[in-house]
């Protein structure tokens, strides 16, 4: 048994139509509850999509209507005209309200320091909100195009955002000094959403071509088409737990999932594979009698890839989890063909 010290390509394209969706504008993943959340910009609702694909209402009666969504901790935050509202993921009750006096808040993201960042599409600004104090300030202004989707890029300590209009630009806003620079002037029209994979790849969607494109981590490579035939694709989310890009089609009330599965892989596994003891405070044992393992990935509840552990084609391995913090984590297990065979939840105990 080997011991480890713990310190994909797209396969499926599917569009799913649901009568409950009404102008789906943004999608985010609630890992703790294994569901997607989708904002309905036309009827004041946030919908939820279960691991099995069932759509139901999570919160209704939201006014103004919700646009961009961002899950942080046990709260989902929604851009609602000039306000940002927050709803408890367990109860659905509103627990947060900040009126920025903005014109049209659209995209939203968060950093690792307790801040939300939201784009004002009409006023061409980016706001910063301190979640704990519910205070805010204008972080960047006088932007040359209308900012839309936005995402925190930890390696560069910046915000990367896409813009509306012809020859739409992809820009970067430094979190150090608020300076804004152009990363790339694209040939596309009306960029809406942006998502980032754990390996650093970026995905953008364009209304002008009804498509989604992939760039490498520094946008130096030529874009790759990964999805077309969409309908006003909006604020996307990359689910690192399932290697799946989730896209709301605001034009025809559908969701498109590009990746390995249209459902979460958390509940899909080889019945002979074991992870024990669970919970564990130190050593975690993984056994796979029928299929050799070539790689294990450790992922937190936000879907962030923390570590990647290559294996020497083994059936059993021990991981020392003593050094990581208490809480929920996921293990992604790959076979000799580098196929994902299981995603397992485990609890790190004290």
**pLDDT of 45 over the 50 cut:** yes
pTM of the model: 0.76
Choice among 17-21, 109-113, 264-268, 304-308 with the minimum mean pLDDT: 264-268
Q: Are residues 207 and 335 in the same domain?
A: no
In this predicted structure, what is the pLDDT of residue 227?
87
Q: Determine whether 97 is exposed, middle or buried from the number of CB atoms within 10 Å of its CB (0-12, 13-18, 19+).
A: exposed
In this predicted structure, what is the pLDDT of residue 199?
86
In this predicted structure, what is the pLDDT of residue 302?
67
Give the 3-state DSSP-derived string for 277-328, with helices as H, strands as E and coil as C.
Answer: CCCECCEEEEECCCCCEEEEEEEECCCCEEEEEEEEEECEEEEECCCCCCEE
Binned at pLDDT 50, 70 and 90, residue 18 comes out as low
Q: Are residues 174 and 227 in the same domain?
A: yes
**pLDDT of 242 over the 60 cut:** yes
Q: Are residues 342 and 229 in the same domain?
A: no
Would 265 be classed as within a structural domain? no
The residues, ordered by sequence, that sit 6+ positions from 294 with a Cβ below 8 Å of its Cβ are 310, 311, 313, 334, 335, 336, 338
CA distance 270 to 343: 10
In this predicted structure, what is the pLDDT of residue 337?
76
Binned at pLDDT 50, 70 and 90, residue 126 comes out as very high
Last residue of a domain, one of 204, 227, 259: 259
Q: Check which CATH number belongs to the domain holding 332 and give it.
A: 2.60.40.1220
Q: What angle do CA 306, 302, 350 make, to 5 degrees?
A: 70
Q: How many CB atoms lie within 10 A of CB 231?
A: 17
Would 4 be classed as within a structural domain? no
Last residue of a domain, one of 259, 286, 307: 259
**pLDDT of 268 over the 70 cut:** no
**pLDDT of 233 over the 50 cut:** yes
Binned at pLDDT 50, 70 and 90, residue 240 comes out as confident
Q: Are residues 27 and 159 in the same domain?
A: yes
Q: Are residues 60 and 143 in the same domain?
A: yes
Domain that holds residue 336: 274-348
Span 191-208, pLDDT tens digits: 999 999 988 999 999 999
Q: Are residues 71 and 171 in the same domain?
A: yes
In this predicted structure, what is the pLDDT of residue 229?
87
- Higher-pLDDT residue of 345 and 104 is 104
In this predicted structure, what is the pLDDT of residue 327?
84
Sheet holding 237-239, edge to edge: 12-17, 254-259, 244-249, 237-239
Last residue of a domain, one of 205, 228, 259: 259
Binned at pLDDT 50, 70 and 90, residue 121 comes out as very high
Q: Are residues 176 and 301 in the same domain?
A: no
**pLDDT of 266 over the 50 cut:** no
* DSSP conformation letters of 222-242: PPEEEE-S-SSB-B-EEETTT
In this predicted structure, what is the pLDDT of residue 4?
52
Beta bridge partners of 88: 75
Span 143-169, pLDDT tens digits: 999 999 999 999 999 999 999 999 999
Computed over every residue of the chain, the mean pLDDT equals 88
Based on the structure, what is the number of domains in the chain? 2
176-180, 195-199, 282-286 — which one is most confidently predicted on average?
176-180
Would 3 be classed as within a structural domain? no
CA distance 101 to 321: 46
Span 204-229, pLDDT tens digits: 999 999 999 999 999 998 999 988 88
Q: Are residues 245 and 284 in the same domain?
A: no
Q: Are residues 299 and 218 in the same domain?
A: no
In this predicted structure, what is the pLDDT of residue 313?
86
């Amino acid at each position: 048994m080997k011991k480890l010290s713990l310190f994909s390509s797209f396969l499926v394209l599917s569009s799913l139509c649901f009568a409950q969706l009404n102008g789906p504008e943004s999608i985010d993943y609630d890992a703790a509850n294994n569901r997607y959340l989708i904002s309905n910009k036309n009827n004041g609702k946030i919908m939820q999509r279960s691991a099995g694909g069932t759509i139901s209402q999570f919160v209704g009666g939201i006014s103004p209507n919700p646009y961009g969504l961002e899950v942080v901790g046990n709260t989902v935050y929604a851009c609602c005209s000039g306000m940002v509202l927050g709803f408890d993921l367990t109860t659905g009750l509103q627990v947060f309200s900040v009126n920025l006096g903005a014109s049209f808040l659209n995209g939203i993201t968060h950093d690792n320091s307790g801040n939300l960042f939201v784009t004002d599409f009409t006023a061409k600004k980016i706001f910063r909100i301190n979640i704990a104090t519910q205070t805010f300030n204008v972080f960047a202004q006088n932007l040359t195009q209308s900012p839309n989707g936005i995402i925190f890029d930890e390696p560069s300590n910046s915000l990367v955002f896409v813009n509306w209009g012809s020859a739409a630009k992809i820009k970067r806003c430094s979190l150090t000094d608020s300076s804004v620079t152009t990363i790339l002037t694209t040939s596309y029209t009306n960029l809406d959403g942006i998502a980032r994979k754990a390996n650093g790849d970026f995905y953008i969607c364009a209304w002008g071509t009804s498509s989604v494109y992939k760039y490498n981590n520094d946008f130096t490579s030529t874009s790759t088409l990964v999805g077309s035939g969409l309908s006003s694709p909006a604020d996307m989310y990359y689910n690192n737990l399932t290697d799946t890009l989730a896209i709301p089609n605001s034009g025809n009330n559908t969701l498109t999932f590009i990746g390995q599965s249209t459902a979460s892989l958390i509940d899909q596994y080889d019945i002979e594979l074991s992870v024990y003891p669970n919970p564990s405070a130190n050593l975690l044992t993984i056994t796979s009698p029928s299929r050799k393992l070539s790689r294990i990935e450790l992922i937190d509840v936000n879907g962030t890839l923390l570590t990647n552990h290559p294996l020497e084609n083994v059936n059993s391995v021990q991981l020392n989890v003593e050094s990581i913090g208490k809480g929920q984590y996921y293990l992604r297990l790959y076979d000799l063909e580098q196929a994902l065979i299981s995603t397992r939840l485990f609890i790190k105990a004290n």
